[in-house]
Amino acid sequence: IFGGDEGSGYWLASNLLRHFTRQSDNREKRTFLYNYLKEKYNWEDDSQMLDMIINEFNEDRTKIASLSLDVSYCANLGDEICLQILKEAAKELSDIIIAVYNKLEFKSTVKVSYSGGVFKSGKYILEPLKENLKCYDIELVEPILSPGAGAVILAMKNYQDNLPIEKLKLI
């Protein structure tokens, strides 16, 4: 409820809503995201945002995380707050990767891949993530398999040692 899962869709959406409320009460300059959210969700009054999150979404993290698509949409239209949210998400994700990298004391280049809805933001998340990792022997690479194929591999490990990964690319 109060944090964690930094860089995730839920984290993106939480930051989006935080900025919406700051813009609503004039603690922050209003940007495209403010009017966009009001129009998209038909909020005549800004407090309807809370009603949507609490009553309609029932504070469900998955439903709240779906608002991360709005971050990407607004970023694509140049909203400076949403661009900053994605840059901060990339920083959070790189901090996690670097912490694991340092803890495991790798001796050679480590290839790190990614999956999840956050990465649908494309260059707005991937470019700063790559930039944050460039001082380490870490190579960010595109996934070679879908998340579904990865789940199949994990499920089948008990039955077969050498799975033909090439065939799973069809999944």
pTM listed for this prediction:
0.84
pLDDT tens digit string along 107-146? 899 999 998 889 989 999 999 999 999 999 999 999 988 8
Task: Work out the percent of the chain whose per-residue pLDDT is above 70.
Answer: 90
For 12-40, b where at least 16 C-beta lie within 10 A, e where not — what string?
bbbbbbebbeebbeeeeeebbbbebbbee
DSSP β-bridge partners for residue 111: 139
pLDDT tens digit string along 43-80? 999 999 999 999 999 999 999 999 999 999 999 999 99
